[in-house]
Chains A and B, each alone.
Chain A
């Protein structure tokens, strides 16, 4: 049974900021902002089947000196799914409009985790003027996809214990390298986020789309990966080489961390991002 650890953590962080709703083409997208009024703005785009809470342990540190905007990507969390949208490319015009509303004409620093990194890559390719710095975290679509991970599915007739067992398994297989880091809070976050994923048919993440998109990027690019990222098992040394057609300024591997690196090794991750942004 869950004990609401995540609910408490979410409320604690959420209460430090503000919830902002942006209506784009009649579709509601939900952002959360912290330290509003700071000079520099930082955009956070979460991973697949996630929400802004993928950054739960990063908000405090990253918003210390910056205005941090974390999106529930359309189709995830509290944001509506655009009509007929089935994959990341369908979300691009919506998120660009949202970022334009937030940035008010200025280019923004963007951190994109996994699916959010792919989305950020599409955005930087579609509208180069809106991204000042692109930081990819465990991004997919680099043509390095191996054998599909043995993830388990949920069934409607599962008991709560069985559901949590599936989340525990999938977190261990894909997201978190050190199983002792999967706590009651982690399971609750996963459960809340999976339940609100309405973009189920996405396929582009398993392609090599970023290899082509990177040729359009004009901003500085940084990569941050967990050393033990399950999506890149045995191929971590190839990731940096795949980003050779963009202005890659730095590539950092966080030791002893899995795919969800910003959760599993939050302190190291936060320090890394802040260092990048200072550079």
Chain B
């Protein structure tokens, strides 16, 4: 399942299932197939995500097991490195920032964000 977030004032933002569910649940939205983030709700959502980033910082991982899953089947045949050494586990901050940027842009332009439509 993909989450395709759209608005009139920002690039489309596609998040894979785990990332999309994470950001929606953080701002109190049900990660359903379709939805909308209205402009009046954005300030609170921005505040929540900024707080999450502040509390978790760069080093805290969102879901290391998801990271491992994402690298499965990709053998690093040419560099000789172990595939799981090649990429740091994903942090909550990494997952949240692109969505937060979209929220900020849309809030500034007073445009809602929709997904699944």
Chain B residues proximal to chain A, CB less than 8 Å: 2, 11-16, 19, 62, 67, 70-71, 73-74, 76-79, 85-88, 90-91, 94-95, 98-99
Contact = CB atoms under 8 A, between A and B. Distances in A.
Q: Across chains A and B, which 6 residue pairs bring their CB atoms closest together, nearest first?
A: A26-B94, A26-B90, A83-B88, A19-B11, A22-B14, A20-B12
B87 A84 contact: yes
B74 A101 contact: no
Interface residues of A, number: 32
Q: Max chain A CB contacts within 10 Å: which of B67, B87, B98?
A: B87
Q: Chain B contact residues: over half helix, strand or loop, or mixed? A: mixed
A93 B74 contact: yes
Nearest to A104: B2
A130 B73 CA distance: 14
Interface in A3-33: 18-28, 30
Contacts of B95: 23, 26
Given A83-B88, A87-B78, A20 B19 contact: no
Interface string A107-140: 0000000000000000000110000000000000
Interface string A81-92: 011111101101
26 contacts: A19-B11, A20-B12, A20-B13, A21-B11, A22-B14, A23-B19, A25-B70, A25-B87, A25-B90, A25-B94, A26-B19, A26-B62, A26-B94, A83-B87, A84-B86, A85-B86, A85-B87, A86-B79, A90-B76, A90-B79, A90-B86, A93-B87, A101-B14, A101-B16, A102-B14, A207-B78
